[in-house]
Amino acid sequence: MSETMKVHNITLFHVELAMRNPFSTHQGSLTKRPLIIVKATDESGNAGWGEVTAFPGPFYTSETIDTAWHILKDFLLEQDSLTKLSHPSEFSSEFSHIQGHQMAKAGLEAAYWDLFAKQRKKSLKELLGGSRSFVKAGAVINLSENFREKLPLFKEQGYERYKLKVEKGKEKEAVAAVKELDSEVQLMIDANGAYNEEDLSYLASLDELGLLMLEQPFPAGDFYLHSELQKRMKTPVCLDESVMSLHDAKQAVRLKSCQMINIKISRVGGLSTSMDIHNYCMDNDIPVWCGGMVESGISKAHNLALASLANFTVPGDLSSSERYFFKDLVVPPLTIHGGRWKCLIS
């Protein structure tokens, strides 16, 4: 790692993608998708691309697209060490003095990883140590969609797992309605932290639904209530918003707060931390899967490289570009074939 990456210039672009349909959870709704695209170049003309996937408002995490732009412009891009890194894996420790702002960091680090791969004429999958030639895909059915229309289409496209966004108190009827259409479907539900301590017994009763998992029932940052729930139910509890770092993942595993973890590159601060969490979970027999952020093909390519690692055993939220957008930023747009993605993305 003695040779630096030779980053010559970093450029930010603020873009907005038109969405085919709103994407809605109980936290909020997207009708268009703003993104920050990061381009890192060297003097030979190689370009690495990253993407900041913060939302317009702070309904998923405390970050927004505007706060991320501020942190990038006024703090991260002001660091002299940006041009002195020998390897992208150094990024996380180099900027650990900047507290939080995981999505801003992740977008910049992603551009470094992509540039590093191109400088060495390797795929990102190779650099990360991915072992799969394809990744299984799962689809999300959000609150603004008619699952009766979507489910037959998803089945035809070969998606192997479905995540149903649900409203509190309406979970059983929603699952029953889906299973009326397909009794064999691999189904999980996600209410993005909508429940509280008074709901423990009710949530435990959802065992009868035979779900693949129950994702993030309690608010972000909680480990105690998730641990209490996991003691009461056989259905695996999966953590999403509660895991913002490797430290969080270790707390979750040691406190028995979950049996699965959803790894989102942007939520945990980048690919390096994502790999650390993957490795820790694999050593502790906790399956992981790759979550999505209604992102463009740039982020999706990074997700596919990450999901090629051995412990990503559950199909991730990796829908085709056309699922959400009229037009993607990558050409050709990324599409699945028979419910699978080929891991040939650089």
**Inter-residue contact 328 to 334 (CB < 8 Å):** yes
Active-site choice (136, 163, 264, 300) = 264
Active site residue 165: yes
Tokens of 91: 């990024």
Helices (H), the chain: 65-74, 91-94, 102-119, 124-128, 147-157, 171-181, 200-204, 224-232, 246-254, 265-268, 271-283, 297-307
Active site residue 264: yes
Active-site choice (105, 118, 165, 300) = 165
Tokens of 101: 């702002």
Q: How far apart are CA 273 and CA 251, in angstroms?
A: 15
DSSP code string of 5-37: ----EEEEEEEEEEEEEEEE-SS-EEEEEEEEE
SS3 103: helix
**Inter-residue contact 246 to 277 (CB < 8 Å):** yes
* Catalytic residue list: 165, 264
